[in-house]
Amino acid sequence: MADVRDILELERPVTPELTKEALLNSKKRTVERKIVAKRPEGMHREVFALLYNDNKDAPPLLPTDTVSGYKKTKARLGMKKVRRWEWAPFINPARTDRAVFHHWKRVSDEQKEYPFAQFNKQLDIPTYTLNEYNAHLKTTKWTKQQTDHLFDLAKRFDVRFIMMCDRWECANYGIKSVEDLKERYYEVVGILNKVRNNSGGPVEKKVYVFDAEHERRRKEQLKKLFDRTPKQVEEEQQLLNELKKIEARKKERERKTQDLQKLISQADQQQTEHHQKEQQQHNQHGPAQHGHQSSGTHKKQDKKLNKKKIQQQPRTSKVDSVVSAVESAGIKFTDLRGTGVSLRSQKMKLPANVGQKKAKALEQALQEFRVDPNPPPIEEICVAFNELRSDMVLLCELRTALATCNFELESLKHQYEALCPGKTLNIPAALVNPPADETVSGADGSEAGAMV
């Protein structure tokens, strides 16, 4: 705009001089405070909002119809011609009485089957002939009339046994419980399925086998559970709390026992390493003393000193500890007697007191004998598999004991040769390498294959 004024030779307005104060004051915003009327104490907010003042719009005197706000817009009706409806009759194909009903439908729609008839699902209840009943279905507890009435109710009520028991005609067919109806129905269905499959008929799906005695015991237990008094419930809760405390103390003892076993194994390992170092030192000094020829007095002094050292140092034998370990070898599997539902495979789980070293040795033994580490948890297999693993742990302990005894024999042989130069201790081969080791291993392998 200033350039246009210069071209037209117009006077330019005098611009104020820019100063520091002018720049600072221009940035300050002037905030105008509106005077808001305070709501009187005790007056509701809705009533106060209806009051009129100069700062607010006047309250409406009549209800208004505006689109703004939370109200929904009105339906916009078109100008097309409305489709015609009629009160038309229909027949439900799910009914067998051919009853005629009416409903509203568009005239332009085609005549179709009643859409809700597709939800009429009926079960395929098997039937039997007189010859089949006389040949396979006769029993002393049920007559043919009772069996016919049972299957008639099953067809009427779609095998809903509670309703079937309620509609059972006790006056004509005797008193029958829900368990009796289920047992007879599934028994007949299973026999018919088996007979027709053997005769080359159409193969049907597997039939459910109903255990009536188990169901009766289950309902009896539920009735006892429901009939408990508040005092009995409280007593049971106290027993459960005590059981939780006992299990917590048991886990704590097992954890302490496992920690103690780790400490003992570490101490044994350190003792074994120390013993091996001493043995190596004896083996190194022995030939040097034999090969070194010195004066007679010097040799005698060395022998005396060696004898004194050997006599003063107590021989650390691990035979006793190994024997005690072998006697206590094996795995003690706990019985699952806790409350609640448990899987049978939990019986094959290793106890917590089994160390990592023993578990690793057991895993290697299973691989050696080619035994499945996770067999199907049948009752007999669970017992046999636990006994087999306990015997495998015993076998590993025996092998460890044999290796320890061989080591002790070798150490005794070296000590004897150090004490008696020029002499050799002959150990029988049967003690070092027993011939029955391979036989035992083969027998255990065959036993493992037979047990699992």
Highest mean pLDDT among 49-58, 89-98, 289-298: 89-98
Q: CB of 403 within 8 A of CB of 326?
A: no
| pLDDT tens-place string over residues 230-284 | 999 999 999 999 999 999 999 998 888 888 888 888 888 888 887 888 888 777 7
pLDDT at 325: 58
State residue 452's pLDDT score: 35
Higher local confidence (pLDDT), 401 or 199: 401
339 burial via Cβ count (<10 Å: 0-12, 13-18, 19+): exposed
According to the model, what pLDDT value does residue 18 have? 63
Q: What is residue 9's predicted lDDT score, i.e. its pLDDT?
A: 67
CA 358, CA 390: separation in Å to the nearest integer?
11
Q: How confident is the model at residue 184 (pLDDT cuts 50, 70, 90)?
A: very high
Residue range 349-389, pLDDT digits in tens:
888 777 788 888 888 888 888 888 888 888 888 888 888 88
End-to-end, the C-alpha distance of the chain in Å comes to: 104
pLDDT at 336: 67
- What's the rounded Cα separation, in Å, for the pair 331 and 144? 58
DSSP state of 120: -
The yes-or-no verdict on residue 45 having pLDDT over 70 is yes
Share of the chain above pLDDT 70, in %: 68
Amino acid found at 289:
Q
Backbone angles phi, psi at 94, to 5 degrees: -75, -15
Long-range contacts of 448-451 (CB under 8 A, 24+ apart): 448/369, 448/370, 448/371, 448/388, 448/392, 449/369, 449/370, 449/371, 451/384, 451/385, 451/387, 451/388
Q: How confident is the model at residue 447 (pLDDT cuts 50, 70, 90)?
A: very low
* Pure H helices in 292-375: 296-312, 319-327, 356-368
**Which pLDDT tens digit goes with each residue over 399-428?**
888 888 888 888 888 888 888 887 777 777
How is residue 374 written in tokens?
């996770």
Given a cut of 90, whether residue 58 has pLDDT beyond it is no
Mean pLDDT, range 294-319, rounded to an integer = 50
Please enumerate in sequence order all residues whose Cβ is within 8 A of that of 145, keeping only pairs 6 or more positions apart, or say none: 173
Q: What is the pTM of this model?
A: 0.40
d(CA 73, CA 67): 6
